[in-house]
Structure 1
Amino acid sequence: MSLFRSAATISSFTLFSRITGLARDVLIASTFGAGPLTDAFWVAFRIPNLLRRLFAEGAFSQAFVPILGQARTKNSPQQVHILLDRVALLLTVALMTVTLLGILGAPWVVTAMASGLRGASRQAEFQAATWMTRLMFPYIICMSLVAFASAVLNTWSRFAVPAFTPVLLNFSMIGACLFLTRYADVPIYALAIGVMIGGLAQLVVQWIALARLGLLPRYSFRVREAWRDPTVKRIMRQMLPAILGVSVAQVSLLINTNIATWLAPGSVTWLSFADRLMEFPTALLGVALGTVLLPSLSAAHARQDHQSYSALLDWGLRLMLLLGLPAAVGMALLSNGLVATLFNYGAFNAHDVLQTRLAVMAYSVGLVGLLSIKILAPGFYAKQDIRTPVKIAIFVLILTQVFNVIFVPYFAHAGLALSIGLGASVNALCLLRVLRQRKIYTPSAGWGRFALRVIPALAALAAVLLAANHAIDWVALAPHAGRRLLWLAGVLLAGGLAYFAALFLCGFRPSDFTRRGMGS
Structure 2
Amino acid sequence: MSLFKAASTVSLLTLASRVTGLLRDLLMAAFFGASAMTDAFNVAFRIPNLFRRLFAEGAFSQAFVPSLAHTKAQQGDESTRRLIDSVATVLAWVLLAASVIGVAAAPVLVWALASGLGKDPQAFDAAVLMTRWMFPYIGFMSLVALSAGILNTWRRFAVPAATPVLLNIAMILAAWLGAPFFRDRGIEPIYAMAAGVMLGGVLQLGIQIPTLARLGLLPRIGVSVARIREAWRDPGVRRVLSLMGPALLGVSVAQISLLINTQIASHLPTGSVTWLFYADRLMEFPTALLGVALGVVLMPQLAAARGAGDDERYSAMLDWGLRLVLLLAAPASAALLVFAHPLVATLFHYGAFRDSDVLQVSLALAGYGVGLLGLVGIKVLAPGFYASQDMRTPVRIAIVVLVLTQLMNLGLVPLFKHAGLALSIGLGALINAGWLLVGLLRRGSWRPAPGWGRFLLQVIAATALLAVFLMWASAQFPWTELRAQASLRVALLAGMLAAAAAIYFGALWAAGVQLRQFVTR
1:200 counterpart residue number = 202
2:379 counterpart residue number = 374
Q: Is the 8 A contact 1:176 1:194 kept in 2?
A: yes
1:186 counterpart residue number = 188
1:451 to partner: Cα distance: 1.6
- How does 1:62-141 map onto structure 2 within 5 Å? 62-119=62-119, 122-141=120-139
Q: CA–CA distance in 1 between the matches of 2:520 and 2:400? A: 33
Larger mean Cα displacement after TM superposition, 306-315 or 487-496? 306-315
1:421 aligns with 2:423: no
1:175 aligns with 2:177: no
2:334 counterpart residue number = 329
2:274 counterpart residue number = 269
Counterpart among 348, 355, 374 of residue 343 in structure 1: 348
Q: CA–CA distance in 2 between the matches of 1:462 and 1:396? A: 29
Amino acid across the alignment from 2:220: R
Determine helix, strand or coil for the equivalent of 1:165: helix
1:515 to partner: Cα distance: 5.7
Q: Is the 8 A contact 2:45 2:131 kept in 1?
A: yes
Amino acid across the alignment from 1:22: L
1:363 counterpart residue number = 368
2:211 counterpart residue number = 209
Q: 1:311 to 1:362 in 2, by over 3 A?
A: same
1:502 to partner: Cα distance: 0.7
1:175 to partner: Cα distance: 0.3
Where in structure 1 do 4 or more consecutive aligned residues deviate above 6 Å? none
Q: CA–CA distance in 1 between the matches of 2:61 and 2:121? A: 38
Q: Is the 8 A contact 1:52 1:144 kept in 2?
A: yes
Q: Which runs of 5+ in 2 are unaligned?
A: none
Q: CA–CA distance in 2 between the matches of 1:391 and 1:208? A: 40
1:406 to partner: Cα distance: 1.1
- How does 1:2-17 map onto structure 2 within 5 Å? 2-17=2-17
1:207 to partner: Cα distance: 2.1
Percent identity, please. 57
Report how many aligned residue pairs link the two structures.
514
Q: CA–CA distance in 2 between the matches of 1:386 and 1:79? A: 24
Determine helix, strand or coil for the equivalent of 2:484: coil
1:223 aligns with 2:228: yes
Q: CA–CA distance in 1 between the matches of 2:12 and 2:100? A: 37
1:296-348 deviations in Å (ceiling 9; x for gaps):
11111011111111111111110000000000011111101100000000000
Q: Which runs of 5+ in 1 are unaligned?
A: none
1:58-79 deviations in Å (ceiling 9; x for gaps):
1001001011001111223222
1:469 to partner: Cα distance: 1.4
Q: Is the 8 A contact 1:315 1:515 kept in 2?
A: no
1:159 counterpart residue number = 157
- How does 1:416-455 map onto structure 2 within 5 Å? 416-455=421-460
1:4 to partner: Cα distance: 0.5
Q: CA–CA distance in 2 between the matches of 1:463 and 1:183? A: 47
Q: CA–CA distance in 1 between the matches of 2:230 and 2:464? A: 61
Q: CA–CA distance in 2 between the matches of 1:14 and 1:118? A: 36
Q: CA–CA distance in 2 between the matches of 1:391 and 1:293? A: 22
Amino acid across the alignment from 1:19: V
1:44 counterpart residue number = 44
1:508 to partner: Cα distance: 1.9
Q: Is the 8 A contact 2:334 2:369 kept in 1?
A: yes
- How does 1:254-333 map onto structure 2 within 5 Å? 254-333=259-338
Q: CA–CA distance in 2 between the matches of 1:282 and 1:403? A: 23
Q: CA–CA distance in 1 between the matches of 2:471 and 2:385? A: 40
1:487 counterpart residue number = 492
Q: CA–CA distance in 1 between the matches of 2:292 and 2:417? A: 29
Q: CA–CA distance in 1 between the matches of 2:110 and 2:472? A: 45
Amino acid across the alignment from 2:143: L
Q: Is the 8 A contact 2:179 2:191 kept in 1?
A: yes
Query: What RMSD over aligned residues (CA atoms) do the two structures have, in Å?
Result: 0.9
1:457 to partner: Cα distance: 1.2
Q: CA–CA distance in 1 between the matches of 2:430 and 2:380? A: 13
1:237 to partner: Cα distance: 0.4
Q: CA–CA distance in 2 between the matches of 1:260 and 1:360? A: 15
Q: Is the 8 A contact 2:48 2:135 kept in 1?
A: yes
